[in-house]
Structure 1
Amino acid sequence: MIPHVTVCEALVTQLSLDQCETLLCPSRLEALSRISHPQAQAASLTGDLLLCAAVRHVRPDAVFPLMRAARSSGQPYLPDFPDLHLSISHSGDRVVCAVADVPVGIDLELPRPVRPGLAARWFDADEQALIARDSSTFFDLWMVKEAVLKETGCGLAHGLREVSVALDPVPHLTRPVFGQLHAIARVRLSCGHHAMLSVPGTVSPAVTVLSPHITDFL
């Protein structure tokens, strides 16, 4: 069976929390209000609104405000839609949200300077050699690693080095992660950049990318 993933993308919104009361549940609005950094709050709010857009796309009969909770692993989930899985990522002024019928992880990293020594700390010898030949591959490798760890719920602290990545001819894992196989997909975004997506198994997912106008469904 082919996994189906809906990805929504947008620039970070400048909407206020008060404008989103019809879409987000009170507990989620309260959690967002506790984020003190304005840009971080705006990015998180945008992720929630993209989640609403994705859910509305795959579940047209969905009732809002949308209830959202977190598992013990920290992975977000939707109590009203236990069959849906989700993942959100943001970088710079861009946010992406993935909703799927299987566990899913997505990561977006816009190009920026890389701290010295970061590759040596988290990447294996083959990955470091690839970066040495082409420094632009750093974030492709990183996005695959983070997407896989988001999908599994392990988190970065449990093993960027456990995820071994190759990019030729397409992004893929060179070995199972914690005994499991994962399929990787590159997701092209309208801004010209791309994100990386991970789902369980070996079958590449069918991905639908949407660029909703968030204010259209307020």
Structure 2
Amino acid sequence: MSTELLAVRPDRSLTDGEAALLLELLPPERRERLLWQAEQREPLCAYGLLLLALRRRLGWRSLPPVARGPAGKPFFPDFPEVHWNLSHTAGAVLAGVSDRPLGVDIERFRPVTPRLLRRLGADSAEEALGRWVRLEALAKQSGTGVIAVLNRGLTAAEEASAHDLTVFPGCAAAVVLGEGEAPGQVRIWTLEALLEGLAENF
């Protein structure tokens, strides 16, 4: 199973029926967790993208139980060979699935504090966020915290494994893959296409 990257830009609120559909497709523990979140649109779309990818690749009808590793990285305990990672920011979602560990991150451009600029060795907010998403993706791939990665710095191999992604205007995104693996093109979905794809196979 090669790596597949998918993204969606939710451009409107979900209807009650759409949110219910997406919630129904989640494992119970993820559903309960999301019910307590004020903002559900992006997380729901993230898991919807993940399920859509796994349906096409493995024929899964629903997502299996999700557990978390020591540093909080989610995984499928019943299918440890299926690696996946999700990221979302306001109005944008990125998902990746692979047969090897990977990490993805997406962030909307926003102001950055002078302290963070100095910490990241960046001259602008755009440059800082570009570096941040690479660090975050690396931390998510390895299952460690981003602060730990930032504190110790990156090795040359880690730098080489981080790839910038062009996904949506106004966002910085990155993926970290296995050594020597290059990312393919990100498959972009509209919100309507995502919902239709999930409803067709419900």
Same fold (TM over 0.5): yes
Superposed CA deviations along residues 153-183 of structure 1, whole A, max 9, x for unmatched, are 011232214344xxxxxxxxx6245xxx751
- The answer to whether the Cα contact below 8 Å between 1:6 and 1:210 also exists between their aligned partners in 2 is no
Q: Match of 2:127? A: 137
Query: Separation in 2 of the partners of 1:103 and 1:198?
Result: 9
After the TM superposition, list the runs of 4 or more consecutive aligned residues in structure 1 that deviate by more than 3 angstroms.
190-194, 205-208
2:179 to 168, 182, 201: 201
Measured in 2, the distance between the counterparts of 1:159 and 1:65 equals: 30
Aligned-partner SS, 1:160? helix
The whole-number CA distance in structure 1 between the counterparts of 2:183 and 2:52 is 20
Work out the CA distance in 2 between the residues paired with 1:153 and 1:118.
22
Q: What runs of 5+ residues in structure 1 fail to find an aligned partner?
A: 165-173
Q: Which runs of 5+ in 2 are unaligned?
A: none
1:102 pairs with one of 85, 100, 108: 100
CA distance in 2, matches of 1:51, 1:115: 33
Contact 2:54 2:60 in 1 (8 A): yes
> Are 2:152 and 1:153 aligned?
no
1:29 aligned partner: 31
C-alpha change, 1:190 and 1:159, in structure 2 (3 Å) is closer
Instruction: Find the aligned partners of 1:8 and 1:148 in 2 and give their Cα distance.
Output: 18
Number of residue pairs matched by the alignment = 192
Shift of 1:202: 3.3
The normalised TM-score by structure 1 is 0.76
With normalisation by structure 2, the TM-score equals 0.81
Deviations 1:6-39 (A, max 9, x none): 112112462545323541122221111122x2x2
**CA displacement at 1:193 relative to structure 2:** 4.5
196-205 or 151-160, which deviates more = 196-205
Computed over aligned residues only, the root mean square deviation of the Cα atoms, in angstroms, reads 2.5
Per the alignment, residue 9 of structure 1 pairs with 7
